[in-house]
Chains A and B, each alone.
Chain A
Amino acid sequence: KAGVTQTPRYLIKTRGQQVTLSCSPISGHRSVSWYQQTPGQGLQFLFEYFSETQRNKGNFPGRFSGRQFSNSRSEMNVSTLELGDSALYLCASSAGQPQETQYFGPGTRLLVL
């Protein structure tokens, strides 16, 4: 079974721009969660999508948004980029129940200049 895939793997943007990241979950998984990882804050939850609906949301500003398509693929968008948005963005998929294991993709490394 193929794992979680994320594209692109690396991105360089400048302040004020916007960016869209993509995540394809493991086949059959209906839940996709997004996390931001930085050296100072660790792994922080952004949001979770299940069956095309946002089910949970973390404490991030509205510049961070996402969506999920009918095939469970998900995209995350960050508008008006700030220097502090530089991070590793990780996507994780699971079958959907809260107690089920989440499997992570390789991440997208975003650098904002």
Chain B
Amino acid sequence: EDQVTQSPEALRLQEGESSSLNCSYTVSGLRGLFWYRQDPGKGPEFLFTLYSAGEEKEKERLKATLTKKESFLHITAPKPEDSATYLCAVGGAQKLVFGQGTRLTINP
């Protein structure tokens, strides 16, 4: 069975304090690893798709990387507006499987 585990569950940082979120996965036949950002009461907003080990993608203060067993979402010099829940999902043979998310809070 496809599984996704995200850690930590919650992370509180000071503005400007860089860190990384982890997404570990087991899937039979990875068809893509997806990162989303979700604000309270809203639908997930697409950030990145990674398809193969070694692939990296960047957008503003965020950078996503992928290995054969895990993905990292690195956040550099975060700002308060980066506060959100970050969701990781893997595309298996038939559907997306989501992790429980990491709730990120950036204090000014």
Contact = CB atoms under 8 A, between A and B. Distances in A.
Is the A/B pair a real complex?
yes
Interface of A: 4, 33, 35, 42-45, 48, 55-56, 58, 88, 90, 98-107, 109
Contacts of B99: 42
Nearest to A91: B43
A90 B43 contact: yes
B42 interface: yes
A58 B95 contact: yes
Main secondary structure, interface of A, reads strand
Which 5 residue pairs spanning A and B have beta carbons closest together?
A104-B43, A43-B98, A99-B31, A99-B32, A56-B94
Given A45-B97, A48-B95, A102 B34 contact: yes
Contacts, number: 54
B25 to A, nearest CB: 14
Q: Which of A43, A99, A103 has the most CB of B within 10 A?
A: A43
Contacts of B94: 55-56, 98
Interface stretch (B15-23, B44-52, B76-84): B44-52
Nearest to B100: A42
Contacts of B45: 104
A42 B36 CA distance: 13
B44 A104 contact: yes
Contacts of A56: 94-95
Contact of B43 (A48, A98, A105): A105
